[in-house]
């Protein structure tokens, strides 16, 4: 096992990883930007080192500085968390050069899955259903029109390098297609440095259902069942739950088998998530995330598996601590992402000082957060400040518990998404489990 691990991230996920390190008796090394010098994670770590600068490109994206600090502090491994460098193959490559272990899959696998076209091709080979559409980049307008006609409108133009909900446009008719291709190309080129786009069928009211997989470096691979993440805004998740309210043993078996087949086919190791869109009884591969996900705690809550500890163990060369038979689901979990955003003002970020803070507690409540009383939320990073996770013996109890926990959660000084979550928990369609990825838009009036 490692003696020291560097966490190349900030906020709640940095603390989450450090907690796993502490339970494994591993010393943790934090790196932080100027804007984060008073952040909780810098104090939670056994040692903390400045990266300088405040923008991500000056700080958390600086592979050179992070490797340098890892070497100087004697860290044997780096955990990238999610976001920042987590899906950048460059970090893995540099780690390999410097004899540092990256806690994640091989950089070649990260690279392959980061390219959505390549991922679609690989999945087709693995006999995992993908969303109908092209498996080549589309450049030529005439060809694109022909392809879209074959697929049938509406279609989606997607950047092959896209991520974080950026680089996708829905197209309802032919007139809009060429312009959508051009604009997606230009967004993709400036956001990801790669203008390649492809076309796939736009599913009208799909559910987002994903499977957590764990694979060690000895060929063992298991799945930890599904999470449903259909409550989204602008293709970004806001609420996740596990298990999915529509899951049946038969569907779970088929989807889990596809997820495991996908991971096996690409030689996946460590923790990963295979995302699917589900619509009218069919499911389609969307993408694979080659890192720990924001919403991993709900799976931990219903299975009892510490996913981050498993990640570290796997990276240290150990075998999985569980066989598939040992994984079962107990009850129901829900996560609400608490963002410093004003839900009544188009979810505009609300950085600033937290002037009053009390987090909820009691039975079945878990809060993974990086903030505290008097903390100043910086404007440079993602606006998620906390994750509120609850467990209930069934979905109905989990919803009641979430309502109770949201009512207990006090954050003063900045507007947050807490009122939005309260409205969703009260929503009748949500309570009936009638979810789809446009739920938030669809129920806007009742939610506001
Ligand atoms: P990103 O990598 O940017 O997160 P994804 O491909 O994972 O993008 O898609 C994010 C979300 O966008 C999905 O959960 C879904 O809501 C929506 N989406 C993506 N592709 C489609 C599609 N073909 N049809 C309908 N919705 C889609």
**pLDDT tens digits for range 294-349:** 999 999 999 999 999 999 999 999 999 999 999 999 999 999 999 999 999 999 99
Q: How far is the CA of 165 from the centre of ligand 1 (A)?
A: 7
Q: How far is the CA of 171 from the centre of ligand 1 (A)?
A: 14
User: Does the C-beta of 200 come closer than 6 Å to ligand 1?
Assistant: yes
ipTM: 0.96
CA proximity to 233, closest of 86, 377, 342: 342
Give the DSSP per-residue string, 7-70.
Answer: E---HHHHHHHHHHHHHTT-EEEEEE-GGGTT-HHHHHSSEEEE---SSGGGTTT-HHHHHHHH
**pLDDT tens digits for range 248-297:** 999 999 999 999 999 999 999 999 999 999 999 999 999 999 999 999 99
Q: Is 291 a catalytic residue?
A: yes
Token couple for 171: 């197209």
Residue 446: what pLDDT? 75
Token pair 């991500």: residue: 56
| CA end-to-end distance (rounded Å), the chain | 50
**pLDDT tens digits for range 27-61:** 999 999 999 999 999 999 999 999 999 999 999 99
* Residue 444 confidence class, pLDDT cut points 50, 70, 90: confident
Q: How far apart are CA 118 and CA 228, in angstroms?
A: 25
Q: How far apart are CA 21 and CA 240, in angstroms?
A: 26
Closest ligand 1 atom, residue 133 Cα: 23
| Rg of the chain over all Cα atoms, to the nearest angstrom | 21
* Annotated catalytic residue, options 291, 313, 337, 401: 291
Helix (H) or strand (E) holding 100: none
User: Does the C-beta of 170 come closer than 6 Å to ligand 1?
Assistant: no
Preceding omega of 243 cis (within 30 degrees of 0): yes
DSSP reduced 3-state for 97: helix
Q: How far apart are CA 265 and CA 119, in angstroms?
A: 11
């Amino acid at each position: 096992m490692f003696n020291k691990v560097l966490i190349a991230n900030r906020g709640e996920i940095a603390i989450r990883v450090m907690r796993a390190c502490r339970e494994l008796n591993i010393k943790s090394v934090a790196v932080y930007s100027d804007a984060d010098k008073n952040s909780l994670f810098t104090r939670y770590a056994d040692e903390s080192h400045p990266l300088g600068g405040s923008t991500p490109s000056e700080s958390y994206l600086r592979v050179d500085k992070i490797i340098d600090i890892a070497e100087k502090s004697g860290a044997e491994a780096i955990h990238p968390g999610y976001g920042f460098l987590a899906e950048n193959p460059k970090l893995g490559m540099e780690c390999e050069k410097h004899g540092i272990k990256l806690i994640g899959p091989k950089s070649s696998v990260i690279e392959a899955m980061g390219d959505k076209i390549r991922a679609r091709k690989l999945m087709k080979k693995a006999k995992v259903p993908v969303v109908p559409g092209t498996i080549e980049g589309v450049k030529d307008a005439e060809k694109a029109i022909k392809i879209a006609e074959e697929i049938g409108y509406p279609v989606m133009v997607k950047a092959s390098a896209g991520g974080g909900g950026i680089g996708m446009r829905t197209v309802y008719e032919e007139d809009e297609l060429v312009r959508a291709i051009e604009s997606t190309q230009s967004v993709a080129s400036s956001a990801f440095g790669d203008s390649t786009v492809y076309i796939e069928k736009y599913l009208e009211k799909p559910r987002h259902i994903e499977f957590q997989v764990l694979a060690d470096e000895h060929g063992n691979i298991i799945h930890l069942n599904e999470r449903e993440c259909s409550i989204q805004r602008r293709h970004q998740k806001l609420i996740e739950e596990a298990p999915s309210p529509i899951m049946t043993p038969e569907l779970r078996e088929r989807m889990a088998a596809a997820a495991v087949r996908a991971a096996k086919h690409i030689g996946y190791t460590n923790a990963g998530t295979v995302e699917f869109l589900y619509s009218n009884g069919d499911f389609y591969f969307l993408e694979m995330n080659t890192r720990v996900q924001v919403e991993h705690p709900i799976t931990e809550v219903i299975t009892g598996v510490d996913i981050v500890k498993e990640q570290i163990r796997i990276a240290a060369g150990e075998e999985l601590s569980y066989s598939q038979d040992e994984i079962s689901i107990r009850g129901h979990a829900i996560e609400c992402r608490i963002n410093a955003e004003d839900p009544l003002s188009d979810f505009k970020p609300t950085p600033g000082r937290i002037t009053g803070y009390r987090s909820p507690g009691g039975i079945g409540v878990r809060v993974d957060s990086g903030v505290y009383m008097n903390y100043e939320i910086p404007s440079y990073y993602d606006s998620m400040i906390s994750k509120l996770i609850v467990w209930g013996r069934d979905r109905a109890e989990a919803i009641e518990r979430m309502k109770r926990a949201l009512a207990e959660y006090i954050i003063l000084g900045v507007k947050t998404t807490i009122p939005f979550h309260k409205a969703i928990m009260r929503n009748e369609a949500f309570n009936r489990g009638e979810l789809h990825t446009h739920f938030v838009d669809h129920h806007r009036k009742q939610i506001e």
